Amino acid sequence: METKNKTRFIAFSSQKGGVGKSTFTTIIASILHYRMGYNVAVFDCDYPQYSLCQMRERDLKTVMQNEVLKKLAHRQFSTINKKAYPVLQSRADNALKDVGAYLQSSAVPVDMVFFDLPGTVNTPGLLNTLAGMHHIFSPITADRVVMESTLSFTDVLTNVLIKQGKTSIETIRLFWNQVDGREKSHLYETYGNVIKEVGLQAMETRIADSKRFRKESEVTAKTVFRSTLLPPDTRLMKSCGLDLFISEFLRTVKL
């Protein structure tokens, strides 16, 4: 029973900017909290920009200005009978302490805490915080610079942190994001072999490239994709493989 009740600490983490860390943190947290019945909290540790805290503020404004989204939000919160998940500020060197205090004071048991972390390994306290994660997911794209950067980053995690035995890390998974259907499949096979050779694992689900990942809710929108207040539209999820990703994600974190 212990694993059932344990709060999972999860990070979508990478050294490379622009591969989708914050986007996935938001989308996965929203699906789990609003659609699947889990209780989630998000800690934005990406000082000083705190992009997820800013996104929450923009989402609140957008929902209030868009009648369709306002009705969607009202129906959702009446149905699930719980509040929006919190998006809280912290810093990489203090995140585990802040989360510990939050979990102690939380009125509801929290199933998962997502950490949105800086992308620079030499950020003070970052490696220590990563060592406190249970599951780390690193988005990758079929790009040599991204691959080299991600492999060196995950190498630090596996060969420095895990081998020293001073971590809570149970799994590290790479996953393909921004997959272009027109790209040659042998590229993914080649990179897939490299991933295996260095002793890492990639998720089976690949996320198809979609402009929606780069778009937030708009004042005129009738559907939602990336939002901290509403889960993505189910049809949009299917079109890029997110529905399959969520299933594999839950199997991986054992929930």
Q: How far apart are CA 22 and CA 7, in angstroms?
A: 20
* β-strand partners of 171: 135
**Homologous superfamily of the 2-248 domain (CATH):** P-loop containing nucleotide triphosphate hydrolases (3.40.50.300)
CA atoms within a 13 Å half-sphere pointing along the CA-CB vector of 252:
24
Q: How far apart are CA 212 and CA 210, in angstroms?
A: 5
pTM for the model: 0.91
pLDDT in tens, the chain (255 residues): 244 578 999 999 887 666 678 999 999 999 999 999 999 999 999 988 999 999 999 999 999 999 999 999 999 999 999 999 999 999 999 999 999 999 999 999 999 999 999 877 778 888 889 999 999 999 988 888 888 888 888 887 877 777 777 789 999 999 998 887 776 667 788 888 888 888 889 999 999 876 655 554 555 567 788 999 999 989 889 988 999 999 999 999 987
For position 158, what pLDDT does the model report? Answer: 79
Phi, psi of 107 (to 5 degrees): -75, -25
The CA–CA distances, whole Å, from 85 to 37, 39, 53, 142 equal 12, 7, 12, 33
For position 3, what pLDDT does the model report? Answer: 45
